[in-house]
Amino acid sequence: MSNEKEIVLSIKDLVVHYEVDGDVIKAVNGMTIQLEKGRTLGLVGETGAGKTTTALAALNLVPDPPGIIKNGEIQICGKDVLHMSQKELEMVRGYDIAMIFQDPMTSLNPVLTVGFQIAESIRIHEPELNSKQAYERALDMLELVGIDRHRGSEYPHQFSGGMKQRVVIAIALACNPHVLVADEPTTALDVTIQAQVLDMMNNLKNKFGTSTIIITHALGIVADICDDVAVMYAGRIIEQGTLDDVFNRTRHPYTEGLFNSLPNIKDRKAELKPIPGLMPDPANLPEGCAFADRCSYATDVCRTKQPEQRMISGTHMVACTAYDDPNFMIERSRKP
C-alpha cells in the first residue's frame, strides 16, 4: 500500500488468546491489517475465525479475563490503543472508533429511551454541548437514519429489529468517528431490512467519509459494499486484496471453498460443494496450515509448515504454501 494514502486503523501482528481453565484458546494468531481513510474493508470468515475478537481488540475491549492480548500493535489515527490509560481509552472509544454490535435486540439498554442513549455518546465526547443541545443532536441523528425524531422519547422495545439496528448505527455515528467497526450488522435482520440497513450505512459512510470494517460471513454483503476484502481463517488472514482481487482472481483454496458453498443462480441444478470438515479447535491448532486437513490441494509440506504471506500483485496477498510451485492454480482460476 502506497504511503500517500492515509491509514486510519492499523493492526500489526495481533495475537489474542483466551485462557479458560488451563486451556489456551488461540483466537487471533498474528494478524496484520490496515484500513485506509474512506474505504470499507470486509472481514470474512466462518464462525470462530477470530473476526469479532479482532474487532474488540481494535477498541481494546477484549474481555479480560479470560482474554489476553499477547502481542501486537494497534493504532487508530496514530494513537496506540493498547498502551492507553483507561481515561484515554474512554476518549477514543466512540469518538475515534465506534462499534456496531451484532444483535440490535440486546445492544440497546431496555430501560433508557433511545434518544438518551444516542445523546449519551455526544455528551461524553463533546462536553461543550449542554444536555439539551446533545439531545437535539441525537434527534438529528435519529432522523438521519430514517426514524422520526419524535420517537426519541421511546424505549427500545417499541422499535422493530431493523429500526433498533438503525438506532445502534445512530449511536455509533453520533460523534462522527474516523473508524466504524460493524460486527455482522445485518445478521439478525431479515433480507429486505438487511438491504435497507446496508444501503443506509453506505450512504452515511460516503456522507461522513467514515472508514469502515464490516465483519460478516455473507459474501453477498461484501460484494455489495466493500472496497477491500480480507479472508480470515483460524485467527489469521489467508487472503487479502481489493474486492476485484479476491472475488475475480481468487487464489486461496479456502476462499475458493467459500465461493463453492454459495448457490449459483445461473446453474440451478449444480450441487453445492461445501468445505468438508470443521475448523480446527482453536485450543489445539495444528503445526502447519490450519486449513490443510480440509484442503483438497494439501501436501505434506502444508501440514508441517506455516504458510507465508506472499504478495501476488500490489494489492493482493495470499497465504498458501502451494504457490511455492509457480505453476500451481486452484480450480476456480483455471476456469475461463
Footprint on this chain of other proteins (rule: CB under 8 A): 59, 61, 86, 89-95, 98-99, 101-103, 106-112, 120-121, 124-125, 153, 155, 157-158, 168, 171-172, 174-175
Q: With respect to other proteins, which residue has the nearer C-beta, 97 or 285?
A: 97
φ and ψ at residue 316, rounded to 5 degrees: -105, 125
For every residue of 68-133, DSSP letters joined together read EEEEEEEEETTEESTT--HHHHHHHBTTTEEEE-S-TTTSS-TTS-HHHHHHHHHHHH-TTS-HHH
> What is the residue type of 106?
T
Polymer length in residues for the chain: 336
Minimal distance, residue 292 CB to other proteins, in Å: 35
Q: With respect to other proteins, which residue has the nearer C-beta, 119 or 302?
A: 119
Q: With respect to other proteins, which residue has the nearer C-beta, 112 or 262?
A: 112
Q: DSSP code of 283? A: T
Q: With respect to other proteins, which residue has the nearer C-beta, 36 or 120?
A: 120
Minimal distance, residue 98 CB to other proteins, in Å: 6
Q: With respect to other proteins, which residue has the nearer C-beta, 144 or 285?
A: 144
User: Using only C-alpha atoms, what is the Rg of the chain?
Assistant: 21
> What is the rounded distance in angstroms from the CA atom of residue 322 to the CA atom of residue 299?
8
Minimal distance, residue 255 CB to other proteins, in Å: 30
**Strand residues in the chain grouped as ranges (E):** 7-20, 23-36, 40-44, 67-76, 79-80, 97-100, 179-183, 211-216, 228-233, 236-242, 309-311, 317-319
Minimal distance, residue 101 CB to other proteins, in Å: 5
Minimal distance, residue 173 CB to other proteins, in Å: 11
Q: What kind and span of H or E run contains 248? A: helix 243-248
Q: With respect to other proteins, which residue has the nearer C-beta, 8 or 182?
A: 182
Minimal distance, residue 122 CB to other proteins, in Å: 10
Q: With respect to other proteins, which residue has the nearer C-beta, 22 or 110?
A: 110
Other Cβ atoms less than 10 A from the Cβ of 38: the count is 17
> What is the rounded distance in angstroms from the CA atom of residue 176 to the CA atom of residue 167?
14
Minimal distance, residue 183 CB to other proteins, in Å: 10
Task: Enumerate the β-bridge partners of residue 79.
Answer: 76
